[in-house]
């Protein structure tokens, strides 16, 4: 599972590009080139999602937009991993307490794994979490 959000690129009148995440109100960025705009978009997406996490707000699901000016952006791992863990746990209808119990750790320890500002699970810990929620961990380097 990867978390990817659609980004809509727009040519800027003064040159370069500006971009928006249609699913994330107020999440905008700009750059002189498309490549720079995409790098800036990744930072903007990561920050936007981290703030939502921090305030315990609902994270919108990515829509399935298509088009010539749509690019797909993934947040940085420090936000993507806790978001994936939480999303899968919720889809399975499990509470943080029940996952912590399956892992044999405290609820407070598990909570940290779903918080971007403090999450830093090891590969071994991620594999245990995946098994506890009925998934397999697959690590990919692209």
Total number of domains in the chain: 2
Asked whether residue 140 is domain-assigned, the answer is: no
pLDDT of 138 higher than 90: no
* Same domain, residue pair 89 and 66: no
* Same domain, residue pair 69 and 83: no
* Same domain, residue pair 58 and 112: no
- In whole angstroms, what is the distance from residue 87 CA to residue 6 CA? 18
87-132 pLDDT, tens digit each = 888 889 999 999 999 999 999 988 888 887 777 778 888 888 888 8
Asked whether residue 66 is domain-assigned, the answer is: yes
49-85 pLDDT, tens digit each = 999 887 878 889 899 988 899 999 999 988 888 888 8
Residue 101 three-state SS: helix
* CATH code of the domain covering residue 48: 3.30.160.250
* Residue 57 confidence (pLDDT): 82
* Same domain, residue pair 35 and 84: no
* Same domain, residue pair 16 and 51: yes
* Residue 62 confidence (pLDDT): 92
Instruction: Report which of 114, 107, 20 is spatially closest to residue 70, judged by C-alpha positions.
Output: 20
* Same domain, residue pair 67 and 120: no
* Residue 134 confidence (pLDDT): 85
Domain of 67 in residue numbering reads as 5-73
Q: CB–CB of 10/17 below 8 Å?
A: yes
* Same domain, residue pair 56 and 22: yes
């Amino acid at each position: 599972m990867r978390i990817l959000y659609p980004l809509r690129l727009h040519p800027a009148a003064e040159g370069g590009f500006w971009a928006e995440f249609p699913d994330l109100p107020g999440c905008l960025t700009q750059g002189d080139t498309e490549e720079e705009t995409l790098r800036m978009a990744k930072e903007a997406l990561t920050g936007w999602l981290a703030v939502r996490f921090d305030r315990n707000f609902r994270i919108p699901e990515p829509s399935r937009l298509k088009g010539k000016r749509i690019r797909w952006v993934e947040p940085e791992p420090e936000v993507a991993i806790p978001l994936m863990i939480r999303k899968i746990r919720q889809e399975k209808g499990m509470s943080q307490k029940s996952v912590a119990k399956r892992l044999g750790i405290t609820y407070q320890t598990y909570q940290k794994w779903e918080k971007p500002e403090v999450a830093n699970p090891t590969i071994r810990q991620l594999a245990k979490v995946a098994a506890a929620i009925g998934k397999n961990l697959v690590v990919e380097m692209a």
